[in-house]
Amino acid sequence: MRRFLPRFGFVMMMTALILAVSILVGAVFTTRGAQLVQRVEPGTTGSASLFGDSGQGTLIGSPQLLIIRDEQAFLPGRGPAGSRLVSEQYLREHQLYPLQAKTVGFIRDLLLLGTLGLFVLGAALWWPRRKVAVARAGIR
């Protein structure tokens, strides 16, 4: 049992490091296609002339970093702050649910916090036993 815990702690620490790198790479891979997007409910030309819109439709919310892989969802032109316009109607009809980049970041941070806990637990099992073993070897 004396040799098992330090080895198990070391394995936990190495596993935590590998998981942390994998989580970071996965988050970067997932968010590489994120774009500043403004969702738009396409309107009719009559409502556009009545309300003085630019013809694109009604803007929904504010521009956000979203991950949308379907290029057909994008409308021509640009929205506020240079954001790309996305048809909310197209997203609903095709049951597409865009993923926010900040959601990916939040999940990444939670997973990294968990791997930090795993690393600390492994270090707690490995480090004190290692110091005792080194001290004993030096005495004899």
pTM: 0.74
List pLDDT tens digits, range 100-124: 999 999 999 999 999 999 999 999 9
Which of 4-13, 22-31, 104-113 has the least mean pLDDT?
A: 4-13
Question: 90, 97, 93, 98: which is closest to 72 by C-alpha?
Answer: 90
